[in-house]
Amino acid sequence: MTLRLARWTALAFALAACQGAPEVQANLARRPNIVFILTDDHAAHAIGAYNSIYPSVTPNIDALAADGALFTNTFCGNSICAPSRATILTGLHSHAHGVRGNSETFDGTLATFPQRLQDAGYQTALIGKWHLRSDPTGFDSWDVLPGQGHYYNPDFKTATGSQQREGYVTDIITDLAIDWLHTERSDDEPFLLMVQHKAPHREWMPGPEHHALFEGRDLPEPATLFDDYEGRASVARDSEMSIADHLWEFYDLKVAPADDAELTGPDRWAQGRLDRMSPDQREAWRRAYEPRNAAFRNANLQGDDLVRWKYQRYMKDYLRCVAAVDDGIGELLETLDDLELSDDTLVIYCSDQGFYLGDHGWYDKRWMYEESLRMPLVMKWPRVIDPGTRIEALTQNTDFAATLLDVAGVETPMDTHGASLLPFMSGTTPPAWRDAVYYHYTEYPQPHRVARHVGVRTDRYKLISYYEHGEWELFDLADDPDELRSVHDEPAYRDVRAALALRLEELRIEYGDTVP
Ligand code: CA
């Protein structure tokens, strides 16, 4: 385990240019446009191209992967929204950019890849969800949802003011992006267009076009829906993010209460979402959900049957939200074709982290377990990436900034914890690459009582320290891909455990993180 992270320099760019085919060398010298599509909480295992157990609602993302590259081992360093977004922009782990949790404000004076691309002559635009509290910097124009934003008739904020737009948020963001390509884009310089969706973030409100998707049929259940949390650290069973006990009936599950019911918790906010709707939107919603809700009440489900019903409601609404995102990606790709931009544009699809889709009995993210640690990452760039490329190297959201500067040939140094992925994209293998990814989650106790933890993942093993509880977990992913049995205390794993603990400490020191 001696590999060191290659510091981002133009080295990777030069390397790829030297080793690639002549046409690839020539194409790397051109500065491509970049369309960076980011969703919120879209798990890789909800995407057909990642062998999802669900019927695919992502034909356009699947096609993007078939036409370009699918990264199978991309991980976040802290599985919540704002920290991962700040990491994507800066290439730094959470402790270094300062956004450790969702309530911290991003320092807009930090070096980011959009700002560096803007300095290098790129036209830069941001549309959609920002979620970093401070106003965006490094963009020629931005038009963003304040905070989490709303699914229906959302407010948008620009440098000059705010306005409410009527419609479904995913469709509006898609339309704004397409309008930007048609009317705002300059022909004189390459562009960076960041299209950032709210979907499929909680509270999973589908748009009118997808209300009926999957109705009348059951989705498959994950193998660990009824996980009992045996064989692992005690902290997992103390968290509050289970399908069984921690979904709110009105807010999350869309079951309206009786007229005289007293609302508590997030259910108090749910009426406000419905009140934002126009009469037509409200009627479409009522027609879709009220008959299902009446059937649910009449069934008076209990125990595991009730958990199964909640899972189905949650999962269908989640995938309905994804379906609208995928439709929008299809429209955006068509627009690039229509404008004859596709060959010269790198299109990236990713999400800020993964999500539990009933896995381990949960929704939400935060834990270092695979389902929320893994990020989907798909790229298409016809001039450089061969169709059907699969990249299995350990990659991380810290790599995105270095990659996009490398792609644009920007040599301005930028402190980063990541490295450029361009060699992988252009069909070469860097002489040295990371052997482990670093993770540190600290947002505790609220909102979901997930214990603080730090950890390291290699291609086969994962070591996690719940340092405030004095507990550890070690998983052998080859034998136990669902992470159901920690082998931390098994004598056979003594050497593996020691090597991983050493690697974790080396990475902590290399990145300058502190662990109490
Ligand atoms: Ca997120």
54-73 pLDDT, tens per residue?
999 999 999 999 999 999 99
- Residue 259 has a CB neighbour count (10 Å cut-off) of 5
Between the CA of 354 and the centroid of ligand 1 the distance, in Å, is: 8
Which segments of 339-478 does DSSP mark as H helices, in order? 370-373, 400-407, 422-425
Between the CA of 328 and the centroid of ligand 1 the distance, in Å, is: 19
How many Cα atoms are found within 13 Å in the side-chain-facing hemisphere of 361? Answer: 18
Between the CA of 200 and the centroid of ligand 1 the distance, in Å, is: 9
pLDDT score for 234: 96
pLDDT score for 469: 97
| Nearest-angstrom CA–CA distance, 156 and 137 | 16
Q: Is the peptide bond before 413 cis (omega within 30 degrees of 0)?
A: no
Between the CA of 229 and the centroid of ligand 1 the distance, in Å, is: 25
Between the CA of 162 and the centroid of ligand 1 the distance, in Å, is: 24
Between the CA of 376 and the centroid of ligand 1 the distance, in Å, is: 12
Between the CA of 242 and the centroid of ligand 1 the distance, in Å, is: 18
How many Cα atoms are found within 13 Å in the side-chain-facing hemisphere of 365? Answer: 32
pLDDT score for 14: 41
Between the CA of 352 and the centroid of ligand 1 the distance, in Å, is: 5
Between the CA of 29 and the centroid of ligand 1 the distance, in Å, is: 34
- Residue 460 has a CB neighbour count (10 Å cut-off) of 11
Between the CA of 255 and the centroid of ligand 1 the distance, in Å, is: 24
Cβ-based neighbours of 333, under 8 Å, separated by 6 or more? 60, 64, 342, 347
Between the CA of 260 and the centroid of ligand 1 the distance, in Å, is: 35
pLDDT score for 28: 67
pLDDT score for 131: 96
Between the CA of 143 and the centroid of ligand 1 the distance, in Å, is: 19
Between the CA of 113 and the centroid of ligand 1 the distance, in Å, is: 20
Residues in the chain: 516
pLDDT means per 10 residues in the chain (516 residues)?
Answer: 34 43 68 98 98 97 98 98 98 98 97 97 98 97 97 98 98 98 97 98 97 97 98 96 98 91 92 95 97 96 98 98 98 98 98 98 98 98 97 98 96 88 94 96 97 98 98 98 98 98 98 95
| Summary count for the chain: helices (H), strands (E) | 14, 16
Between the CA of 508 and the centroid of ligand 1 the distance, in Å, is: 24
Between the CA of 138 and the centroid of ligand 1 the distance, in Å, is: 22
| Nearest-angstrom CA–CA distance, 323 and 205 | 12
| Nearest-angstrom CA–CA distance, 88 and 23 | 30
Between the CA of 82 and the centroid of ligand 1 the distance, in Å, is: 7
83 and 101 Cβ atoms separated by less than 8 Å: yes
Q: Which domains are delineated in the chain?
A: 3-204+315-429 (3.40.720.10), 439-511 (3.30.1120)
Say what the alpha-carbon torsion angle 125, 126, 132, 136 is, to the nearest 10 degrees: 30
Between the CA of 333 and the centroid of ligand 1 the distance, in Å, is: 24
**End-to-end CA gap in the chain:** 25
Give 442-462 as a DSSP string. ---STTT-PPPEEEEE-SSEE
| Three-state secondary-structure class, residue 58 | coil
**Quick one: which of 51, 99, 35, 43 has its CA closest to 75?**
43
pLDDT score for 4: 34
213 burial level (CB within 10 Å; 0-12, 13-18, 19+): middle
Distance of CA 499 to the CA centre of its chain: 30
| Nearest-angstrom CA–CA distance, 273 and 276 | 5
Q: Which residue has the tokens 């027609």?
A: 287
| Nearest-angstrom CA–CA distance, 405 and 411 | 7
3-state secondary structure 213-256: CCCCCCCCCCCCCCCCCCCCCHHHHHCCCECCCCCCCCCCCCCC
